[in-house]
Amino acid sequence: MRKKGLLTAAFLLFLSAGLLARTPDCLSGKMERPDQPERPKFYAVRVVSEKDVLIAKNSLGAPDGGYTEILPGGQLVVIMEKELYFSPIVGGGGALDSGSIVGKGGAEIDLEGWFPMQDTQGKQYYDWMPLGISGTGFLISWSPEPINSSEGSSGMDMIRITNHGTKSLFVDAVIGYGLKAEGR
């Protein structure tokens, strides 16, 4: 198996584990873990699609106390201001969050990103891939090194939030984090 295939398999295994660890903490309203360095923030800027969602535009921009309500069975897809990339591991503190959602509710949610993929013949296509959920946000991966577009990998800028629960999910903002203080 090629190195690229091994990385893909490891990435998919990580994402599967993230699905088993669903938690409402990613919607607790916490912006970042206190032990993580301050990084530039960027936000969702456009609603791409919505199903069973009330006031979808309230999820755009910085947190302002106005909530989008995603009803049970509902789904919201947003475009971020910038691309999100794989999360680097920092010291003994684990991986940095790629982003977070300021909101409440959502014990049974799915977070997915629209990622560029490549088939075995090298043809590029896009597909939804689950995002790992942490106690304070979400992760694209636990990569040992920061990976960015200058190194030839692709980020993603579209996030899908699906409410599989029986109660409404309230989203004030979807936040992405840059890799370092001076930005990308």
Domain span at residue 53 reads 3-177
Residue 20's contacts (CB-CB under 8 Å, 6 or more residues apart) are none
Whole-angstrom distance, CA of residue 70 vs CA of residue 67: 9
How many domains are contained in the chain? 1
Q: How far is CA 50 from the centre of its chain?
A: 17
Whole-angstrom distance, CA of residue 73 vs CA of residue 52: 7
**30 inside domain:** yes
> What are the pLDDT tens digits along the chain (184 aa)?
444 544 444 444 444 444 433 444 456 554 455 555 678 899 999 999 999 999 999 999 999 999 999 999 999 999 999 998 876 666 666 677 889 999 998 778 999 999 888 889 989 889 999 998 887 888 886 433 333 433 445 678 999 999 999 999 999 999 998 866 443 4
Beta bridge partners of 171: 68, 103
**183 inside domain:** no
**46 inside domain:** yes
**173 inside domain:** yes
What are the structure tokens assigned to 102, written together? 């300021």
CATH number at residue 37: 2.60.120
**182 inside domain:** no
pTM: 0.75
Whole-angstrom distance, CA of residue 184 vs CA of residue 166: 39
**39 inside domain:** yes
What are the structure tokens assigned to 77, written together? 């897809």
**184 inside domain:** no
Extended strands (E) in 19-168: 41-54, 68-84, 87-88, 99-104, 109-118, 124-130, 132-133, 138-139, 142-143, 156-163
